[in-house]
Amino acid sequence: MENGMEETLMFDKSLLSRIDFEERSKAKFHPAASPSNPGDSLVLRPLSTADFERGYCQLLSGLTIVGEVTPEKYLATFNAMKETGIYYATVVEDTSRNLIVATATLILEQKFIHECALRGRIEEVVVNKDYRGQQLGKLLMSVLTLLSQDLGCYKTTLECAESNIPFYEKFGYVKDKEVYMQNRH
């Protein structure tokens, strides 16, 4: 760790490059953008162990409380997530600054219903405020929605602020009649 964390990815990055993005993305990009071409000096890829040092947790703190996450705790959590094979934490790195500037995570949930189907959930969607208006949230949402479909999910769901409904509608999400309830312990 003295010389930087080893670069281990949370999932196979070819899953992202394999998506036939231009053909299938419901959201339109102006200027053109895709997973393999997110913008100047930007790279879209799976979360890496070394992203702890690239400010991944600071980025998440734009979303909610992150608290103190040590490198050891980050690695243990990363490894636990990777081991299950159901977490697809995806990031955009600005390689000119060695900085994670956007992220979203797809999580697969196994069901017995629908002939033992998978269901996708999208969580922790956040873009660094200096990088807003550069279509990075749109790119991540579009790619993770297609990835969820490619991985066999019969549906993908998320929870969002009322004001963000129009954003998510771009990718085919619709407000459901079910309501979201929570219980804080």
Contacts (Cβ under 8 Å, ≥6 apart) of 98: 54
C-alpha torsion sign, points 39, 136, 145, 54: positive
Inter-CA distances, 106 with 52, 54, 151, 172, Å: 19, 21, 11, 16
Q: What is the token pair recorded at 90?
A: 């995806």
Residue among 36, 76, 97, 132 that touches its own copies (CB under 8 A): 76
Is residue 6 at the binding interface for its own copies, with CB under 8 A as the rule? Answer: no
Q: How far apart are the C-alpha atoms of 42 and 100, rounded to whole Å?
A: 9
Is residue 36 at the binding interface for its own copies, with CB under 8 A as the rule? Answer: no
Longest distance between any two alpha carbons in the chain, whole Å: 51
37 or 170: whose CB is closer to its own copies? 170
Closest contact distance (angstroms) between CB of 8 and its own copies is 15
- 119, 154 contact by CB (below 8 A): yes
Closest contact distance (angstroms) between CB of 123 and its own copies is 8
Is residue 113 at the binding interface for its own copies, with CB under 8 A as the rule? Answer: yes
Radius of gyration of the chain (CA): 16
Residue among 112, 129, 133, 166 that touches its own copies (CB under 8 A): 112
Residue among 6, 12, 124, 130 that touches its own copies (CB under 8 A): 124
Is residue 166 at the binding interface for its own copies, with CB under 8 A as the rule? Answer: no
Residue among 8, 43, 69, 94 that touches its own copies (CB under 8 A): 69
- Residues lying near its own copies in the complex (CB under 8 A) are found at 56-57, 60, 63-69, 73-74, 76-77, 80-81, 84, 86-87, 107, 109-116, 121, 123-124, 145, 148-149, 153-162, 165, 168, 171-185
